[in-house]
A and B are shown apart, each in its own frame.
Chain A
């Protein structure tokens, strides 16, 4: 073949390039006290996702641009950003779908910005850990007694909620979290539900102490956007609503039969 390998798909026009403008949020705390937008114009190939364009900028135009990414295949959850104002996994969003541009890229909303497109997520990690996202047993079974068995139907109860990749798009989509940073938030509650609804788990009561509270599930007003933006169809809004429903049933049960109430 005469060309340099880039033309492998050339005949079908798949590698066609066009110039696209990107307006990228820049925040360099050592240089500026307020963020600015920097404009980059670059040749974009038709099969590129937004993350490819950012990598092109970093490799060929401006090496100082900072952002997180890792797997570039929608699994690691590192490359979430606001693209044209919407919380988006940049590795899963084709540039072509956003043409003609300009395309605005900003860090995820509702989080402090460390630098450029990088947000601070310690708060989230601490919340995540605080709800004990692991199987809790009142009494651990001895090793020789074998594993905890589970039927496919029992697995189906929580499987959806176990698909979360912690990309934080749901936190950016949630105005309640934006207003109330203490709110546990969609992903944390969905993960708690993932264990609460697991037939092998007995730790719902411990998680309740954190989540069946004003800053847990009861802060949620079901805006519903968390489920809309979730790239894994976890549906955190459903996790929270069902948590509210079961907590309410439990509340009435405790109210009617206080002698059976726990904790």
Chain B
């Protein structure tokens, strides 16, 4: 049987899509809109640091951020493939997409370990 890596990428895409669908809208609304506009009071620095520093929170943040990147990588790769008919650049696009997601994942890991 011809080996294909697609199941692996698809599983990251699916896991990331699910996590992002469940967690990102409210996170974005609170951090990017409600707090900056003053609808919600910003929690103090120490309490945020304490909360985000909890091992479970770090794990959650890592998965959310990394898998969101891979979700994008997979979906955007096919958007370019179908939407702009860039089939001939398939390999290059795949390297750039999954490569950026991997760089993002390493950055997320580094940031969260040093939190």
Binding site for B on A (CB under 8 A): 175-176, 179-180, 205, 208-209, 212-214, 218, 221, 244, 247-248, 250-252, 255, 263
B88 at the interface (CB under 8 A from A): no
Q: Is the CB–CB distance between B82 and A251 below 8 Å?
A: no
How far apart are the CA atoms of A247 and B6 in the complex, in Å? Answer: 10
Q: Quick one: CB contact mask for B1-42 with A, threshold 8 Å, 1 for yes?
A: 110101110110010000000000000000000000000000
What are the residues of chain B within 8 A of A214 when measuring CB–CB?
4, 6
A208–B1 touching, CB < 8 Å: yes
**A221 partner residues in chain B, CB cutoff 8 A:** 78, 82
In the complex, B85 has a CB within 8 A of chain A: yes
- How far is B10's CA from A263's CA once the two chains are assembled, in angstroms? 21
> How distant is A185 from chain B, measured CB to nearest CB, in Å?
14
* B-to-A contact residues, CB < 8 Å: 1-2, 4, 6-8, 10-11, 14, 78, 82, 85, 87
Nearest-neighbour CB distance to chain A for B82, whole angstroms, equals 6
In the bound assembly, the distance between CA atoms of A250 and B82 in angstroms comes to 27
Q: Please, could you name 24 A-B residue pairs with CB atoms under 8 Å apart, sorted by A?
A: A175-B82, A179-B85, A209-B1, A212-B1, A212-B4, A212-B7, A213-B2, A213-B4, A214-B6, A218-B6, A218-B7, A218-B10, A221-B78, A221-B82, A248-B7, A248-B8, A248-B10, A248-B11, A248-B14, A251-B8, A251-B11, A252-B7, A252-B11, A255-B8
Q: Which residues of A contact B78 (CB under 8 A)?
A: 221
Task: Given A209-B2, A214-B4, A214-B6, check contact A179 B11 (CB 8 Å).
Answer: no
Q: Tell me the smallest distance from the CB of A184 to a CB of chain B, in Å.
A: 14
- Cβ–Cβ contact B85 & A247, under 8 A: no
Please report whether the interface of chain A is mostly helix, strand, loop or mixed according to DSSP.
Answer: helix
Given contacts A218-B10, A248-B10, A248-B11, whether A179 and B82 have CB atoms under 8 Å apart is: yes
Q: Which residues of B contact A212 (CB under 8 A)?
A: 1, 4, 7
Q: What residues on A are CB-neighbors of B11 within 8 Å?
A: 248, 251-252
From B1, B4, B14, B87, A218 is in contact (CB under 8 Å) with B4
B9 CB to closest chain A CB, in angstroms? 9
Which residue of chain A is the closest to B75 with respect to CB atoms? A221
Residue among B1, B78, B85, B87 with max Cβ neighbours from chain A (10 Å): B1
Most buried by B among A205, A214, A251: A251
- A180→B7 contact, CB < 8 A: no
Query: B6, B7, B85, B87 — which one has the most chain A CB atoms within 10 A of its CB?
Result: B7
Query: Would you give the shortest CB distance from A221 to chain B, in whole angstroms?
Result: 5
In the complex, A218 Cα to B7 Cα: how many Å? 8
Tell me which residues across on chain B come within 8 A of A263, comparing CB atoms: 1
B10 touches A244 (CB 8 A): yes
- Name which residue of chain B comes closest to A261, CB basis: B1
The distance in angstroms between the C-alpha atoms of A57 and B14, with both chains bound, is 50
Determine the chain B residues whose CB is within 8 A of the CB of A205 once the complex forms: 1
